[in-house]
Amino acid sequence: MHVPDGFLDATTSTGTAVVAAAGVALALRGARRELDERTAPMAGLTAAFVFAVQMMNFPVAFGTSGHLMGGALTAILVGPWTAVLCLTVVLMVQALVFADGGLTALGTNVTLIGLVAIAVGYGVFRALRAVLPATRTGLLTSAGVGAFLSVPAAALVFVLLFGLGGVADVALGSVGIAMVGVHLLIGLGEAVITVAVLGAVLRVRPDLVRGARHLRRASALAPRPSLAGATAVDVR
Amino acid sequence: MGAGHGGGLSAAYVPGDSPVHRLAPHTKLVAVLAFALVVVATPVGAGWAAVAYAGFLLLLLTVAAVARVRPGRLLRGLVVEVPFVLFAVLLPFVSRGPRTDVLGLSLSESGLAAGGSILAKATLSVLAATLLAATTDARALLRGLERLRLPTVLVQILSFMIRYTDVVGGELRRMRVARESRGFRGRHLGALKVLGPAAGSLFIRSYERGERVHLAMLSRGYTGRLPGGPVAVVGGRAWATALSLPLAAVAVLAAGSLLG
């Protein structure tokens, strides 16, 4: 659900563009801590994954299907700063190549889907992870709640922006309730898909889930090194 | 949750050799962004707004004719705004202010104006962006963003994403073909047991591919920067050609506010 051009006035769009640029600048520094000089290829491939998985339709309920937005999932998998970069890049490609989301609204979309959804999703995840027991169930619960809340939070900020610089005179309260209500349902789908995907990765390669580092126990076998393990270079 | 982007990144580009295709990508990016800004800046309540929108549409259709982009391609680009059409249609019902009767329904006047202008503005800028994507391939867009001083790391991430989207999308397609040839039908919630791991293994494959790509780059002497080719100088004439679109739009806007 990307905001197109014309929804918000020029002043609000400029304001969100400044917020988005500042957020992305911070993320560029933060991602260097998460990935050092591997930032470009790793974040690029993760962005390609996010883009591809958004094309995948999951059954949600009552015969309807939805797709993942992926902010919370990406943040838990690769870290919040890298996730902001991935989502930003995906939104740029969607706006430039598919005209999905307006060009003047790119800052708004990055702020909502990149910054707000990831900050809320990952923040809730971290807070719950600290409280819940350090088990697989605890981790998946925190991830599910984080993903669930990230969607209505983004919708709520959109309603606030619409109140600030929207082009229509609507009763903000009723629109807010409607938007948040619809997005609570969408958030439910997001949570279910996030937990399913995260559970699958945890089962196969728990070392790749950045948000699950505290679960790794000392094992008899040395963990697979992240870089030095590969000798043959297979590139496409 | 917008419409899907079937067909990968290359599907948006219409190969050609028109004057619009030949323009330097960064001039086109600036032109389309400026055009979208002018469209957004058009006042909602003004009586002449509808005439201005018609003028903007005429400008875009002229560019499409010069670029030889078929109307069917432009119409297909409009599919992405379908979810927001619903929102715009609802506005006359939920907006406040004086009401008017249309076909027996009591609608808000300001809501009608706002809904109509949202539809018009979104449609116009989707058309402009579709024209940009149809006349500029993804690599050229990337070069354009680089010329416009987008941070280098962001340009590199974009370039890796664009380069590998078809590879990752291809893996997704092969997994779907394999699932469906085993009789899989994902119509109910239980399908998540199959689709979740599928998406999970797609992540693992993408991540591991990223590690291999990075190793390959290191072995070829990557130091954190990608070498760029020589940068062609873009003269004032090319800028003038590209910027004729937003300038004409400004002229329409000025004429509207002076005469209307």
Name the residue among A168, A158, A51 with its Cα closest to residue A113: A158
For B126, name the nearest residue in chain A, comparing CA atoms only: A99
Over residues A171-209, the pLDDT tens digits come to 777 778 888 888 888 898 889 889 999 999 999 888 888
CB-based contact A82:A42 (threshold 8 Å): yes
Query: Predicted ipTM?
Result: 0.87
Classified as helix, coil or strand, A190 is helix
Residue partners of B27: CB distance under 8 A and separation at least 6? B144, B234, B238, B239, B241, B242, B243
Give just the sign of the alpha carbon dihedral A68, A162, B100, B117.
negative
Q: What is the pTM of this model?
A: 0.87
Residue partners of A50: CB distance under 8 A and separation at least 6? A70, A74, A86, A87, A90
Residue A233 located in a structural domain? no
List of chain A residues whose C-beta atoms are within 8 Å of the C-beta of residue B129 = 95-96, 99, 102-103
Number of domains in chain A: 1
Residue A74 located in a structural domain? yes
Inter-chain touch B4–A57, beta carbons under 8 Å: yes
- Within a 10 A sphere around the Cβ of B115, how many other Cβ atoms? 24
Predicted confidence at residue A114, as pLDDT, reads: 92
Predicted confidence at residue A226, as pLDDT, reads: 58
Predicted confidence at residue B4, as pLDDT, reads: 43
* Containing structural domain, residue A92: 10-214
Predicted confidence at residue A208, as pLDDT, reads: 84
More confident residue, B192 or B32: B32
Q: Which of A42-51, A119-128, B126-135 has the highest mean pLDDT?
A: A119-128
Amino acid code (one letter) for B89? V
Is B90's pLDDT higher than 50? yes
List of chain A residues whose C-beta atoms are within 8 Å of the C-beta of residue B5 = 51, 55, 94, 98, 100
Over residues B50-70, the pLDDT tens digits come to 889 999 999 999 999 999 988
For A88, name the nearest residue in chain B, comparing CA atoms only: B154
Residue partners of A13: CB distance under 8 A and separation at least 6? A104, A105, A107, A108, A165, B40
Residue A29 located in a structural domain? yes
Residue A117 located in a structural domain? yes
Residue A125: which CATH number?
1.10.1760.20
CB-based contact A79:A63 (threshold 8 Å): no
Residue A232 located in a structural domain? no
Residue A199 located in a structural domain? yes
Provide the residue ranges of all domains of chain B, joining segments of one domain with +.
Answer: 9-144+236-259, 152-219
CB-based contact B161:A51 (threshold 8 Å): yes
Q: How far apart are CA B132 and CA A14, in angstroms?
A: 22
Is A23's pLDDT higher than 90? yes
Of A106-115, B17-26, B82-91, least confident by mean pLDDT is B82-91
In chain A, which among 105-164 make CB contacts under 8 A with chain B? none
Residue A174 located in a structural domain? yes
Residue A231 located in a structural domain? no
Predicted confidence at residue B152, as pLDDT, reads: 85
